[in-house]
Amino acid sequence: MFDDVRLGHSVDVHGIRPLVQGITDSVRRNPGAIVSLARLKNADEYTYMHSVAVCAMMVGLAKQLKLDEDQTYSAGLAGLLHDLGKAHIPAEILSKPGKLTEQEAAIMRNHAVEGFEMLLGSDDADPIALDVCLHHHEKWNGEGYPMGHKGKEISLSSKMAAVCDVYDAITSDRCYKSAWDPAEAMRMMAKWSSGHFDPRVFQAFVKGIGIYPVGSLVQLTSGRIGVVIEQGSRSLTTPKVNVFYSTRLNMRIMPIIVDLSAPSVMERISNLEDPKKSKFKDINQLWSGTAGI
């Protein structure tokens, strides 16, 4: 789809409907799998894998907000198409490792309008996808773009896309920055939430992704270290953790999955570990191999 748009072809919305349905079905089977998989994307894959991740997160968020089936599908379609305008951004700007100049930043911001206009010219334009293409960078406090809309001026779908877009962007490796740890990303988004995001939408997002999202490196009260592989069934603070290291023994131990929500488990998460400062270089393998991917 992105390649076709770069070549000047119109957007075939009808042709991507099976993909949106496939992602929606996958999210229903395993809510964290596609979002987790998308975290493994490299910088070259960012533009389209980011769209896949946002599509999956929009579907999950729609479920948390109790939207009906048609609304959920439209939210997923909007997530897949939200960055369509980036297909027209010059590669040297899109992949620039350093800070953008003022002129380059203006060109980058214009992707919202570009995507809207491209989608408007398709034969099967979805009104929710059109709205999200244009408004996914609007902020709750009115400091976003391109219209500077705020609060109730922003549609529910665009409020949802704003949260999903930011989360995937800051937890992904980019040409100009390294990925943030999922739990750290969630903590920072909570700090921004009063200005950037609709509070109700952000709270629903946290409920779906978790306080300790998949991929978070945590230490338990027993002194064991593990990586979160799945959200718990009972509480945001009791996910499933793949435990693989003992700080008391100062050594690796046989990996074991601990469900912190199980009544028989007395351990809890005591603190977050910083993956960048840790000596564990195989964190991705530790969670992706056990998270249904």
Read off the pLDDT of residues 226-273 as tens digits, 9 standing for 90 and up. 999 888 877 889 999 999 999 999 999 999 999 999 999 999 999 998
**Which parts of the chain register pLDDT below 50?**
291-293
> pLDDT at position 293, please?
42
Beta pairing partners, 240:
230, 259
Among 290, 57, 20, 19, residue whose Cα is nearest residue 165: 57
> pLDDT at position 288, please?
63
What's the rounded Cα separation, in Å, for the pair 254 and 72?
A: 41
Q: Record the pTM.
A: 0.89
What's the rounded Cα separation, in Å, for the pair 160 and 126?
A: 16
- 283 sits in which H/E element: helix 283-288
